[in-house]
Structure 1
Amino acid sequence: MLSAKAKTQLGNFLFVAPYMFVFAWLLVWPLMSGMGLSLFKADLFGGATFVGLENYGRLLSDPVFLQAVGNTFLFVLLCVPPLAIIPLILALLLNRSTRVAAFFRGVFFSSSVLSVTIVTLIWRMVLIPDGGFVANILAVFGLPPIPFFSDPGIVMGSMAIITVWWCLGLPMMLYLSALQQVPQDIYEAAALDNSRWWTTLTRITLPSISRTVVLVVIMQCVLQFQLFGQPQLITQGGPNGASRPIVLFIFEVGFRRWDIGYAAAASQILFAIILLVTLGQYLLTRKRTGDA
């Protein structure tokens, strides 16, 4: 006969077992399979030859892959700071119990529900140099159109503009939720002390929502390292690979060149990059906030 404690533990295990099974099936098993596949030279038709770490060596000397890594890091640097700061400013401005604030919260969040296909179609009409919205405005002032998608120097910046507009909504709502959890009596005490708005912001508001700021930064890093849809639909990685991120490189290698083992190795490197960046970011911010 099982003891009461053993019965409780068995019940807890049975309760979480379905979730753990699905988690292992959908996440853990594909991850482990990808690690194993990266050690083989394999194609879509089932042929596989064990090559060890050869795929990783090829990647580290592949100029196309190294360019994709550089493009991805550039894109993350262009996107994450605005997606951490602009939604915070919007949340501070819209943290009001008024109909106007509620309306603008809905306006800024509305872009987040659009699919990547719709977003790229909208921004193609805005940014294309041949009859686009920006080009027409520049033409009014007698200025030439800007080649947003054909100039290697600004194409990733164009992708960043599109992505920031698209992704503003969720961080803003996270900040709003955090701001509404800050006790109002703290602000009342600050007002009685004639505290300036900057002092209130830096000494009360930001420290109170610091965990949410860390969450937003880490979440955006994870998401933006996985850039794929925008360059794939607008530029196909061009011009001259200037907008090809790591995920698009994996897609091209795996499903156009049929080199599945090579693509799996690239995906493992991407996983390692995301893991190291987010872990380092978390440890750094945790140390600064004194939680270590």
Structure 2
Amino acid sequence: MFDIGVNLTSSRFKKDYLDVLERARSAGITGMVITGTNISDSKKALNLSKQNLNYCWSTAGVHPHYANRWSEDSNGELRSLASEPQVVAIGECGLDFNRNFSEPKQQCYVFQAQLELAVELNLPVFLHCRQAHNSFMSLLKPFIPQIKGAVLHCFTGTYKELRSYLDENLFIGITGWVSDQNRGRELRKLIPLIPSTHLLLETDAPWLLPQDIYPSPLSKRNEPSFLSYILQKVAFLRKEVETELEIQTTLNAHKFFSI
């Protein structure tokens, strides 16, 4: 199993991240990508990946929540980070009009800047979209012919949105949201529609703890070792053999990130 999205730089992992990695290995996780969400965080993600070569890789990017921190130096800093061999994608980047922690106009500017950088560096993009589909696609579409690849991280959208992503050859990342009894209801219907060649699995740890873990950890903290619960749920919904889905999604991750 390969976890394409882990927020290992989160303060919730500060005290025991080495134990978290050890539990991941014991649970059959063969590799993971540590997500960068701003410049500082991307530096930390890179350092963690360097400390765990051939097991951890990282992304470098600015999440839409942090778009208001973008400065005239950000592009150069991001370019420098993304030029490191351990950095396998630009992101997490995109648009989030759900909470608007940054102004929508600034989010669009920063998203486009990162798409341009991904084209320049020939890297795929690790994407975020919340309640911003039309604006998101209007910015992304012109870059699709030039960009190496794109994954819609933590997909929770509608059938129409899924079709538009697949029509543009995007990969789809599925998290523990799929097991949420209420919020995951629509997603569970869409899981069988994702081509096996474009399906990726992720925990988004420490967030989105799968709801079917029993007993549920007292900390309510998600971690990479729980990826198997997502695999099991997705295999069940797709009526596929778990081991075959595990092999396919791991191959997809290696192909997408060129690792």
TM-score range for the pair, normalised by the shorter chain length:
under 0.3
Larger radius of gyration: 1
Q: Which has the higher strand share?
A: 2
Q: TM-score, normalised by structure 2?
A: 0.22
Q: Which has the higher helix share?
A: 1
By relative contact order (CA 8 Å, sep 6+), the higher-ranking structure is 1
Q: TM-score, normalised by structure 1?
A: 0.20
